[in-house]
Amino acid sequence: MQDSAPRKLVLGSTSAYRRELLQRLRVPFTVAAPDVDETPRLGETPLALARRLALAKAQAVAAQHPDCVVIGSDQVADLDGEPLGKPGTHERAVAQLQKMRGKTVVFQTAVAVVCQSSGFCQEDVAPVRVVFRDLSDAEIENYLRAETPYDCAGSAKSEGLGIALLESIDNDDPSALVGLPLIRTSRMLRAAGIALLGPV
């Protein structure tokens, strides 16, 4: 009887952006903070880093909630193989955007779905190719003062004024750049037994 009850869903992230995105699926969920060291390993590519951290976050929260389906996600900006994470400060955000201006950056957005008690574990990455305009120092400064995107990988908050930084965005999962690729997430949640598009 207990096996037929739907499993509860947990978002293993404190990101307000990911929470807002997951709410779009209209499935009840709770939020738990993953205790994971996000330091890149020596020689680790941005893609490998994003994959490892997404899975580590999901597994860390799943260990605390073994009967739940847990989502973990991570995003790393990839500039010619160099990982760019969250800047944290104004000065580092300026340096990131100066590095990225006029260049193509791939935002590697990884997602993992884990249920410890059922043994379910899937992960995927939605790469987003973003071409930055050749920004002036004044444009960078004005943008950062307006948006303060210091908690966003690569300092680029595309859902706000950050869209004005860009020449183009190329991806196959539109919400990936904001932080959670919902097409891939939905696919994995269905596979894990979470009902989507059920009766209202």
Residues assigned a catalytic role: 74
Rounded to 5 degrees, what angle do the CA atoms 37, 11, 155 make? Answer: 60
Torsions phi, psi for 186 (to 5 deg)? -60, -40
The dihedral sign for the CA sequence 66, 35, 20, 46: negative
Q: 20, 47 in Cβ contact below 8 A?
A: no
Closest CA to 178 of 145, 147, 156, 150: 156
Q: How far apart are the first and last CA of the chain?
A: 24
Q: Output the CA–CA distances (angstroms, integers) from residue 99 to 38, 103, 136, 154, in the order listed.
A: 22, 8, 12, 10
